[in-house]
Structure 1
Amino acid sequence: MLTTQRLSIALTLACLLLVPVATASAQDAADSKTSKADKALSPEELAAKALKSIVVVQFAGRDGRDRGLGSGFVIDASGLVATNLHVIGEARPITVTTSDGKKHNVTAIHATERAMDLAILKIDAKGLTPLPLGDSTKIRQGQPIVALGNPLGLKLSVVKGIVSGSREIEGKPMIQLAVPIEEGNSGGPALDSQGRVIGILTMKHRYTDNLGFAVAINALKPLIKKPNPIPIGRWLTIGTLDDADWAIHYGARWRQRAGRIHVEGQGSGFGGRAVCFSKHETPKGTFEVQVRVKLHDNDGAAGLIFGVDDKDRHYGFYPTSGQMRLTRFDGPTVNDWAILKTLPVPSYRPGDWNTLKVRVTPEKISCFLNDKLVIETNDTRYRTRICGLAKFRHTRAEYRSFRVARQLPPAGPTEKAIATITALVKDLPGDGQVSDDLLDKLVPQGESGPQVLRDRARLLEQQATRLRELAGQVHQRRALEAIATAIKQPDAKIDLLHTAMLIAWLDNDEVDVEAYRQQFDRMGAKLKTTLPKDATDEQKAAALEKYFFKEQGFHGSRIDYYSRSNSYLNEVIDDREGLPISLSVVFMELGRRIGLDVQGIGIPGHFVVRIPATNGPGRLVDVFDGGRTMPQVEAERRIIERFQQPPTGEKRKQVIAEFLETAKRKAILVRMLGNLSGSAQQRSDEAAIRRYADVILTIDPTNFTQRGMRIQLSLRSGRYQQALADIDWLLEHQTDVIDVTRLRELRQQVEQAKASQR
């Protein structure tokens, strides 16, 4: 029925399904080219036109985390962005995220006007799309406007409203707007019907949600003509590193707080490298340099540098993607770098503090992780006494306790201290207060006490996490086996209600499948009592529709259509709300319990049922739309509309007939799982996507899209054996859908990746 595609395309599609894709029609592009400058645009057209100009503005708090969030808009293609002054905070690092998702560090505060709450930011970007500025003296009370911004961190919000008046607030001329302004909208533009900025959203009304204020755009124009630029380096006065202690090269954002050095942002060196050299004196001859480091990104890289010859030539010892690495940097690019050693180290603690120490002698370099020797080399190219810190890629890291000395004491507890403390807490009760006797024994252990106890707690937490994960995997395996058993029979014999309930149980092990079966049987029995002894199909259908829609109140979910609850049959029964297919399953199963053969019909993009009639083929009913009878012509139109090139003649009749065939029960289950998978893709829940793929392939092993998606997920998570198993299945079941040559090439690549993993 559908045109097949090569597997390479299917794999690509499976990968693309993991991220949302925005498209625009050719007609939209044509309309935008032919529109006149003074043509009144619809809110949809205004949003499409302004989208590329709207930005997200964020500033970092005193702890370095993103705290303030607001909106802004481009006013000059060379990188000028207008926003509110209160959006950018006081003396904080500021970033601007443009519509293409790129995050830019603000390089200068180009202009500010505190009295008007206005700011213009400068970012290092070219070719931006500025919004045209209107004339706020020409606005009219009652004229329509559109407000754009990023409320509560949402990417883009478009709200229609009107100008309700002009007033002065605290000496500022403001435009009063009948439009809600939420947190994050501040700094966004208010546009007139031609897409010109007439005001900058600044605050909501104190007493009502649907009234806000904007600074008139004419107040911004003097700042554009006569800016008062402040370089970002002068703007940032809190948390900067002391120039007497450190020298920074290749950028990134370095700051200090509470005795720690924090770094984030991409360095300008190759691979996002940024370095920070210590200016303090290092002992001559043999010396040791040490720092404690914590990486906030599992795939990040940050640590020590030493033997610095200049900013590009030095050694580096650092964790990278969970492994330890010693590198000699002989220049600015990766071609100048020599990786001396990379290896996994069990004692590395991801996401926690790790102590890195390097001992440098004239003949040897010895690298230690948490007081254990992990790497040694006899490389002697660089022996200068300059040391420091480095980070790579997008890594966000913290450093503390940076020290350089001829010899440094062990940073962690001794083996004896670890054994003593572990023995003391071996029988620690799970509840109740700690005894004074135990505290009296732990306190004399000094710094070792808290450190060993935290390490012990971390280990137990990791074990608890693994146990919870294992419990989830065991449950999912049980659910998968139960579903496999339920479908291991002819399609017409599959208990659709039971199997659909098992899908809900797959995601929630607290669902009592048997209790819901009994509840549903009682519903069916109650419905049956309303029927005459020899009821016709028409009488059964009338009773079913009355019971389902009027008495029980089942209805389509319109407010939260994509909620997972609409696909879980237990919640559909509880809430009387669901998707077309889940409501149809409940309707069909109730019909089966009163002897009415209600059939499912899988129209593209919508699922309906066919209620049998004594004479004729029966009628199509849209269960989602309150039981509305769907005319045959509407069903045919919905089917044909799904084709880019609509079929004609006999082919058209064949396509319509195929879609209007009774849906197989396995196909219904796969379609329900497909809805859940789509929801998981929207929230980027790869574990759930994989879980649904496992079930779909249990029901329908020939679903090439799902098998391709599972291969992609396996490769992303390093499950090479599973990927090979799926590839081998495809090679064993070759059809014209499979590009065998490409698939064998992929298999070879996976084998190589698997070998390198060992």
Structure 2
Amino acid sequence: MRPFYLLLLTGLLLGQADAAPKSKPVSKPVAKAPPAARTAAELAEMIRPSLVKISQMGREGTDGIGSGFIIREDGLIATNLHVIGEARRLQIEMHDGTTHEVSTVQASDSHLDLALLKIEAKGLKALPLGDSSKVRQGEPIVAMGAPEGLGFSIVQGVLSATREIEDRQMLQVAVPIEQGNSGGPMLDMQGRVLGLLTLKSLKTDNLGFAVPVNELKTLIEKPNPVPMSRWLTIGALNPKLWKTHLGAQWTQHAGVIRSEFPGSGFGGRALCLSTQKVPEESFEIAANIRLDDESGAAGLAFCSDGGDKHYGFYASGGKLRFTRFNGPDVYSWTILADVPSDAYKPGEWNVLRVRVEPERIVCFVNGKKVVESDDTGLRGGSAGLCKFRTTVAQFRNFRIGTDLSEKALDPEVASKMRSKVEEFVADATSSEKTLEGLLESPAAAKRVLVEQRRKLEEEATKLRELERELHRRAMTKEILAELAKPEPEINLLRCALLLARHDNPEVDIASYLTSFRAMVLDLKEDPEIKAGTIPAVKRLNRYFFEENGFHGSRGDYSNLSNSYLNEVIDDREGLPITLSVLYVELASALGVQGVFGVPLPGKFMVGFRDGPEGELQLVDVFEHGKLVTVEQAALDLTEDGRFPEDALAPITKQAVLLRMLRNLMSSVFDNSRSLRESLPYLNLFLAIDPKAAPERLTRAQIRQRFGEKAGAREDVNWLIDNFPEGGPPELMQQLDVWMRALQE
């Protein structure tokens, strides 16, 4: 078949997706003679007044240190986002030792790992920004920062190359980048900033990377300021649910608690205790835990007095350790068990569970018992999480109950399911006898084993794909069940999160719904929200864009993350439609009348009317909540300056979800990913809207390309049966020819 169908359908899909924002013409400045090159010593003297040291301040003092530099005389400072962390008070130290508190996080971008900070100061010396698009391989450069938190230093090197790392262009530099250098400037020999130091190479100390400075210019042009008072709440643990002890940095995103930096207790011990009451007598606690470095330790704490006395069951050095802590120092510790276990998977998520009874304690990892102890030294108290040393640990799904064990499947259901999946389990008990037989002809045996291994790997791949498809179909079923409700009862927020979970099974929908409810509580009693639609929209704009920093994607528009509502909530960055969904659902939850999504061609916006007969006004959520008239929007988005009538009508929740799916498919095409990656979206789209002819035509084309003739025949047959009256006869003829070819 000719590529006509694919080209036609790709065009149709891209035409219906939200287009990338139009770029405005930029006037070219008059060229000036470049400044003269300087020596490293001259640069050091010139640059030093513009460098700053950035400290994350915790309860116990400094939790982390990085570098930054002044880019505006009124106190605007550039650095890496990972340098400032989340929910941490930030202190800026100038070259002369004076310090300032950060008043505003002026801009942040998780994809670029960049941040702009604002301090209340004037008359500072700013560094000039160069043009990173004009850098040349082998060009001499200097890098400056505060390695390991020490005084400001300078190192000279060369620009090695421009590399793509995780879909981002980075500048590779032949200079050592140490901890504390991140966020410092990389400059040419004229003193112009070309990039921000960020990554240290794992292969050699004399190699690092820098974010190109042109990426920083985007943040300067389009800030998303968040006052420090609000920044301190982003990612912070809910104090009603958790109490921390002995420091470390504990943050939370989407149900995942993350702990960084050592605690102040001996061995870097730190605790995060749940406020949930532990049942009397027997009880269980459990959590999913992952360590980035197995030389550290993290796990469960229980029977805690809220201080230094508690039990700990945790992963440490690839083993499982059960310890009783009776005080603050090593002499107060009793290691009750330290055992290896094949059930523990280093570097992966592992489920740790503990059962506490009056006379014994039993510890499990991934459902397998690894420790049983009759120690009764501690009972009662609180339960939660613990972490040791410098490892970064992640925790999710912490729970307390009387019985948290995984319940056995119903025998009849289990038998039915197992009959549908072929078993590929070898009998390990006969391995020695098997080896004796194989040694009779080792060469032949090896060939047979390789063949069998490859076969099993192929089967494992098929089973993984079956597991993925089962998950997708389960999510599709949940989405269809939600959309089957009457329109006012459909939870669009949940639908959008289910769409994200369709791609990523680890998305914790309940946690994001909890985060959304926290946003509702922030505004529920606000007098402006209760004062009518127009005051409420103004308040929503301030809350959304000025206080919380939500903003449109600055450069990586087709990144799939912009279409996943969970990542939009985490990163506060997204597409017009995902930002609009969150905005409209927040307005709805607060009871604000007359606020709805408006499906303008090429750009989704939020519309509002002050009463049923009020004039329609628009909020451009992609442009920081800018208020625009219908006429202005039409001039910007259409060639003739007019919208079709249906473009201004409120959109149904099903139509919103379909438009989000079109954006996901558009991102697949834009990023030249495999066409097969678009099939799950097409399948979901057609499950929601079986009458969507363009998407069905696209799926037929892709199915045929990958040899799925039965599926392609099904789609082409549907297109023939539903061919519109009066449609082009030549297109019907092509469909008939196509069907005959598929039947051969």
Q: Which interval holds the TM-score relative to the shorter structure?
A: 0.3 to 0.5
TM-score by length of 1: 0.43
Higher relative contact order (CA 8 A, sep 6+): 2
TM-score by length of 2: 0.43
